[in-house]
Amino acid sequence: MPEKVTITDVKVILTQPGNSRLAVVKVMTSEPGLYGLGCATFTQAIFAVQAAVERHIRPFVIGWDVDRIEELWNMMMVHAYWRNGPVMNNAISGIDQALWDIKGKRAGMPLYQLLGGKSREAAYVYVHANGPTPQAVEEQVRAYMEQGFRYIRVQMGGYGGQGDTMVRPDDAPDGAYFDPRAYSRNMLNMIEHVRSAVGPEVELLHDIHERLTPIHAIQFAKDVEQYDLFFLEDALAPEDIAWFRQMRQQTATPIAMGELFNNPHEWRTLISERLIDFIRMHISQMGGITPARNAAIFANLFGIRTAWHGPEDTSPVGHAANLHLDIWAPNFGIQEWYRPSELDYEMFPGLPEVRNGYLYPNEQPGLGIDINEELAAKYPCGDIVETWTQTRLPDGSPTRP
């Protein structure tokens, strides 16, 4: 029998090449030169994830057989007894993704081959168009169309729209204010303008970002139906998922949900009762490639497609993992894409590239991506107080971001 390869060390690489703080886990092995990378990015609590990996996960996994991914994932998930939270899930994901990377390197195959092989050559992606007016959004949509993108998410004034003209109470605290009723009116007007201007061929998407109350979200989904969205994203918060039954009964607008989900109980019923059309969990938030593979297989049984979360606060390693799942999954739907910078490509050799609206994998073994640690160290993560999450209604009341 070949000699067993074991985990010898684990390190967390923190870096901030753009606006988001990123966490990449590097798993070293007993085979000289063999290591794997995994995404553990929870940008709003990046140092908590670092501590979870270094102080809790690392001592547990050292000496483990790198081939036993399924067993280790399940053991990591219950090792702390308390489970399915964003910090520990991301920490576990870093190890899990790195072990899949290692398994691919040992096999000499890209990860998608180990999952079952290609279902397609490349993955459709969608990009984000935003602007202060409907006309500005239209201009950005047209610019993306000229670049070959055929799936475009349209927002206006950021999540929740713009709140500069609101009348606030005296001494109201600072925050990211928005008016839900005005948001609904303004977004519907914007989507109507863009659809009328660019025609039916381009696929439009929109993200409510859980900003509306359930009954108003249902009304929005009904009102936007006439504009033929590819999907409406995060119409409800995880706390309100029971309302998806009423939404499904009242509108044919396709629904995508899941980026805040941690626990399979949050997506299991939505899939089994066919209450949504796309699952879009954040791969590291749910615990890595192992649970994402299982969720995709489960969703396929019910005709639900994948649309994994792919914003700037997923590391390039996480984007590579997304793409391998996209290339394999028979029920792939669409992939969110953040348009990496030149620095991203320099820091993460092997980062996938888009051509004519498709994201292509490379044929390197494992995840096919590496990290320039020396360059990453030149862009350290700073302490940040998030402002966009400090969201308030016009009267100053705190509300969901």
The answer to whether the CB of 376 falls within 8 A of the CB of 12 is: no
Annotation says 159 is catalytic: yes
- Dump the DSSP string for 324-391: HHHHH-TTB--EE-----HHHHHHSTT--EEETTEEE----SBT-----HHHHHTSPPPP---STT-E
Annotation says 209 is catalytic: yes
Catalytic residue among 206, 209, 309, 319: 209
Phi, psi of 358, rounded to the nearest 5 degrees: -110, 140
Question: H or E stretch including 77?
Answer: helix 69-79
Catalytic residue among 112, 159, 177, 227: 159
Question: H or E stretch including 297?
Answer: helix 289-300
Question: H or E stretch including 239?
Answer: none
d(CA 209, CA 211): 5
d(CA 30, CA 35): 9
d(CA 366, CA 106): 8
d(CA 45, CA 53): 13
CA of 312: how far to CAs of 43, 287, 317, in Å?
10, 18, 12
d(CA 343, CA 345): 5
Residue 17's closest CA among 52, 35, 41?
41
Contacts of 303 (CB under 8 A, 6+ apart): 274, 331
The answer to whether the CB of 256 falls within 8 A of the CB of 233 is: yes
d(CA 7, CA 30): 6
Question: H or E stretch including 124?
Answer: strand 123-129
Q: Which residues are catalytic?
A: 159, 209
